[in-house]
A and B are shown apart, each in its own frame.
Chain A
């Protein structure tokens, strides 16, 4: 058995079954509980990822300015890195937490496939992953019935697929960093629809236990965004409105809401670190007003 299985997949598989016993044999509730617990455990990383991504997005107009200003790629990179340093932003800040979480999500996905596979073959495979504890053995076979679903079979009622679609859309909508680059905007717009459609399609193909996991994971993710951004930024309006080109922090002020507290520390050091010459300051304010005009249009 591979090290990956021993370190990640088997402990998660057994933990799922222990949770199943705790919630009196309702495996659907066990999946929901486990997903919430895992998201809570990785919450510091998720929050860090959200904040890094947001800080990065506030710098987008300046990065674009640098790109226009410096044609030499080496110089451009140096200036961009300088800007990151001055702003106290790590460009890998939003990537690293995601990379750390990745093995956990992959393992959880695999563990769910193993536990709710539903076929005799998957059941036989499960036997090779369980710890020899009576507490776990007595839980088997798992009760795959949850609400209207058989967790081991795809849900053909479309209800779960819709839930996965909607929750993925909302999370994707909140996670997509605003950008002023038209090409990135176009890609973001496409991904905003593609990802939910793709996951909804997968939900119709895989055991519904996985769909439950996706839906719950997305919903918990949205709740986390709510707590990081606050109600001004995460509300029905921001979710349903078409994605803006402005960073999340600027959306609130544009709509008359309070500017988020998070935004200020990210911008202030940049301003403070700028050369004192009025030229630079002017250009900066000019760039911002250009951005505002563009938004109004």
Chain B
């Protein structure tokens, strides 16, 4: 569960530990960006995977670590997508003076993402403050309701294009940007889990009465976890809006929320690694099915077109199987970074 610092960073001076992972990740991501920049389909799929990873990892903070059941993640994603998309659309013609256009565009993109994330976080706060006093099913119903409210509002607002959605948002997203945010989300989720705040969240999940008696402000912690989670959902939505040609209310339905919940549950409630892995698998699955069906039907696309319809029953069957065979999810509450050092030290001691 709550893990200690990685052995790599423990030898560093304190001031450096905070930024070290980023110093390492940014050059790697930049190199990858150069390698994949021309392969558009690959980048597109990778971006969808990235967005889903951000959604799953952030939802895991609420559903996994804190043990609250929220099923309105698509609502927060929609807030982020529409607001950052709208911002980019409105400021399309603007550029920051004295900077090259590409740099200025990327800076504006970051501003748009932060706007989307922050507005989603504010929504998270407003929704969370009254509803996190509720327990279990009630919270699920409130968050579900919130997601639907957002979708209906968007569907009926002229500024957001009603049912047609927003189109023409500048396609500023890139492999680097998506995976930079994936990295930020994972690092922050990990740091929360290993901090005194994360331990308080685990405590709330384990026993709320005892946590409260030990001085944990349970409502406050739940709201803060919810706010962080919705911020990243908003950022994920913002990223999404900048690489798909069009966003419409249909992208942020209840089904999308459930998809994210399935990822978190399948990966193991409370495991960031599990959420990442499940997000990758469950995003690739429909694509793999699509190509498999195309191959099976000898190039005819009729069956392949139905993938989106048969996707949900397959998710259902997978979940049922998973709950029967491994009820704690793929990873349970374990993390890959907890398991690897142990295996490593075991091998050094000459044990199997």
A binds B: no
Q: What residues of chain A have their CB less than 8 Å away from a CB belonging to chain B?
A: none
